[in-house]
Amino acid sequence: QVTLRESGPALVKPTQTLTLTCTVSGFSLDTRGMCVTWIRQPPGKALEWLALIDWDGDSYYNTSLKTRLSISKGTSKNQVVLKMTNLDPVDTATYYCARISGGHVNWFDPWGQGTLVIVSS
Amino acid sequence: SYVLTQPPSVSVAPGQTARVTCGGNNIGDKNVHWYQQKSGQAPLLVVYDDSDRPSGIPDRFSGSGSVNTATLTISRVEDGDEADYYCQVWDSSSGHHVFGTGTRVTVL
């Protein structure tokens, strides 16, 4: 059974850096075609794609956020880490990670349950 | 950047058919995926590659498309189908994924 679980701080101060971890099970991040992606959703608003990393370590970013985002594989073989710098209250959102299989252009399935991050002083 | 436009809301009576549209420039050239998000839950894939269904998704959910519009059709709507629905594509020109604006389906 494939599962993903997001973890990280629930509250972050403005200008700080957010570090989120996606821990996966049921598949290997090193298997050809496997990718992990991050998506966020501000309260009451639509989904916004953030970034993805593929089995080979190649990464892709939302161009509007690219200067603030960094995605990498964690030190643990089953983790993907997303960093977002210079947080602002508008970055308050539920952050999800999801799997993409068969290459980075494909659909997201399954998703983690999400983690709510509030940016406030 | 590539934009996907969905109607904010669709209302449908139980047992009837709901159609959710997703408009984008030449979207017919792209593979469209659809997600259902019930209140307080993570999104769930219901249609991928325009018209394929993941295992476990009822055949009441179907997808189709034309040159500039993709459509998610929910037949024989049930109370449990009440949710937000999002379309999604990969935009090769920008090199990233794009979500639609989302549609709330309300069962009357």
User: For residue range B62-94, what is the model confidence (pLDDT) as tens digits?
Assistant: 999 999 999 999 999 999 999 999 999 999 999
What is the C-alpha radius of gyration for chain A, rounded to an integer number of angstroms?
Answer: 13
Judge whether B37 and A108 are in contact, CB under 8 Å.
Answer: no
Burial zone of B4 (CB within 10 Å; 0-12 exposed, 13-18 middle, 19+ buried): buried
Q: Is A48 exposed, middle or buried (0-12, 13-18, 19+ CB in 10 A)?
A: middle
* DSSP state letters, A42-111: -TTS--EEEEEEETTS-EEE-TTTGGGEEEEE-SSTTEEEEEE-S--GGG-EEEEEEEE-SSTTS---SB
Asked if the Cβ–Cβ distance from B90 to A104 is below 8 Å, we say yes
From chain A, the residues in CB contact with B98 under 8 A are 49
Residue-wise pLDDT for B10-33, tens only, equals 999 999 999 999 999 999 999 999
Tell me the nearest-neighbour CA distance from B93 into chain A, angstroms.
Answer: 12
Q: Which of A112, A94, A98, A120 is nearest to A42 (CA)?
A: A94
- Residues in chain B with CB shorter than 8 Å from the CB of A49 are 88, 96-99
The type of residue at A121 is S
pLDDT(B51) > 90: yes
Beta-carbon separation of B45 and A46 below 8 A: no
Chain B positions in Cβ-Cβ contact with residue A69 (cut-off 8 Å): none
Distance CA A40, CA A97 (A): 9
**Is A80 a residue whose pLDDT tops 90?**
yes
The answer to whether B65 touches B71, Cβ cutoff 8 Å, is yes
Q: Which residues partner with B22 through β-bridges?
A: B70
From A49, A64, A111, residue closest to B42, measured CB to CB: A111
Q: Does A49 touch chain B (CB under 8 A)?
A: yes
Selected for mutation to probe chain A from B96, B98, B99 (highest A CB count within 10 Å) is B96
Q: Shortest CA distance to A47 belongs to which of A34, A37, A56?
A: A37
Q: Which residues contact B26 (CB under 8 A, 6 or more apart)?
A: B67, B68
Q: Specify the pLDDT at position A76.
A: 86
What average pLDDT does the segment A58-75 reach?
96
What residue type is B46 in one-letter code?
V
Give per-residue pLDDT as tens, A90-120. 999 999 999 999 999 999 999 999 999 999 9
Q: Which residues of B touch A46 (CB under 8 A)?
A: 86, 99-102
Q: Contact at 8 Å (CB) between B32 and B88?
A: yes
What number of CA atoms fall less than 13 Å from residue B94's CA on the CB side? 16
